[in-house]
Amino acid sequence: MGDTFISIRHLYKIFGRDPESAMNRVRKGMEKNELLELTGHVLGLSDINLEMEQNKVQVVMGLSGSGKSTLIRLLNRLIEPTAGEVLIDGADVLAMDAKQLRELRRQKMSMVFQRFALFPHRTVLENTGYGLEIQGANQKIIKKRAIRWIERVGLSGYENYYPAQLSGGMQQRVGLARALSTDAEILLMDEAFSALDPLIRTEMQDILLDLQEELQKTIVFITHDLDEALRIGDNIAILRDGQIIQTDNPQNILMNPVDTYVADFMKDINRARVLRVDTIMNPLDSDANDGPSLPSSTTLEQALQVFAENSSNHIIIVNRKGEKIGKLTLEDLIMGMKRPTIEKIKEDLSSPDSFKPITTASRNIN
């Protein structure tokens, strides 16, 4: 596990004429609906607590109106929070003056936008170099680095095109290159791929995962698309009506949705393709510890294939070092595919310790 890099504590955002007094009411326990009715203020985000690890992808998922785009803008204060704390690498973002904030935005975090937000009057090269230009770097360095990142996102040859001359996918590659070119440690991605059609979206996700493998940035990724969240996220926070209702790694969210809302989300997910064998495996027992072995990151679908091709009634799971860490029978596998039912969730809710973030042992080993 990495260190906490971005830490959000008791963060609130209230929209309206006098957020301060509305905040006082909220502190005294007023609910969102009551606040809207009585004062006309909208409680955009309520008591957000989130610890984001360094070099990991934190996905914030929610439907439209859940406050996810507001949340990401509170991190670099494109929107001013009403109350709470945002610590980035130990520094209190809300205490920063205008100059410190500019430095933070220039050096430490960059952003990719849903509708690209490229500068229409600048070429691809000039767009990519924008962050460096703002930092005051010299033209040679700007050009050199911009060209490198344009190449890295696969847009070589388009340096002198204008955004309007490019397709949506290409424009967002420019958006990505622009964000990467400042070498900021933190990448804020606000529904970065949502405006793209599905094929291009998958392609962009691949590019991002590929880059992340190499760059190891701390990424905050906002999306409304669960497939995308499961694919990209090391950790997922689910936002509803301005509140975080569950935070966990993708496997645990699939296995233990915290309520019916989350479970509903998971309904259409192909579990076999997302769940990993180490999530549902059983501990090794003394007998029968041989048989086909599979790496822990294998998906259930891939494991099923192995069962189909072998006569063995179980498979052995190994970690990256090749050590045996668990085993899985065909029956386990079939049970694993089963969605948690509402009854199961209710039962879970009633048991006191089910709410703790569960971290599967095998993930620690990884």
Q: Which is nearer to another protein, 195 or 304 (CB)?
A: 195
| Residues forming beta bridges with residue 112, ordered by sequence position | 189
What's the closest the beta carbon of residue 153 comes to another protein, in angstroms? 17
What's the closest the beta carbon of residue 78 comes to another protein, in angstroms? 6
Q: Which is nearer to another protein, 121 or 339 (CB)?
A: 121
What's the closest the beta carbon of residue 22 comes to another protein, in angstroms? 24
What's the closest the beta carbon of residue 58 comes to another protein, in angstroms? 18
Q: Which residues contact 15 (CB under 8 A, 6 or more apart)?
A: 41, 42, 44
Q: Which is nearer to another protein, 104 or 226 (CB)?
A: 104
Cα 298 to Cα 58, 200, 232, distances in angstroms: 22, 25, 16
Contact residues: another protein, CB under 8 A: 76, 78, 101-107, 110-111, 113, 115, 117-121, 130-131, 133-135, 162-165, 178, 182, 188
Contact 59, 237 (CB under 8 A): yes
What's the closest the beta carbon of residue 192 comes to another protein, in angstroms? 12
Q: Which residues contact 313 (CB under 8 A, 6 or more apart)?
A: 329, 330
DSSP one-letter string for 52-90: EETTSEEEEE--TTSSHHHHHHHHTTSS--SEEEEEETT
What's the closest the beta carbon of residue 135 comes to another protein, in angstroms? 8
Residue-wise over 140-161: b if at least 16 C-beta within 10 A, else e?
eebbebbbebbebbebeebbeb
Residue 286 identity (one-letter amino acid): S
Q: Which is nearer to another protein, 113 or 221 (CB)?
A: 113
Q: Which is nearer to another protein, 106 or 224 (CB)?
A: 106
Q: Which is nearer to another protein, 184 or 317 (CB)?
A: 184
- For 10, the 3-state DSSP assignment is strand
What's the closest the beta carbon of residue 112 comes to another protein, in angstroms? 9
Give the closest residue to 234 by CA, choosing from 59, 60, 89.
Answer: 59
Q: How far apart are CA 275 and CA 256, in angstroms?
A: 12
Q: Which is nearer to another protein, 120 or 283 (CB)?
A: 120
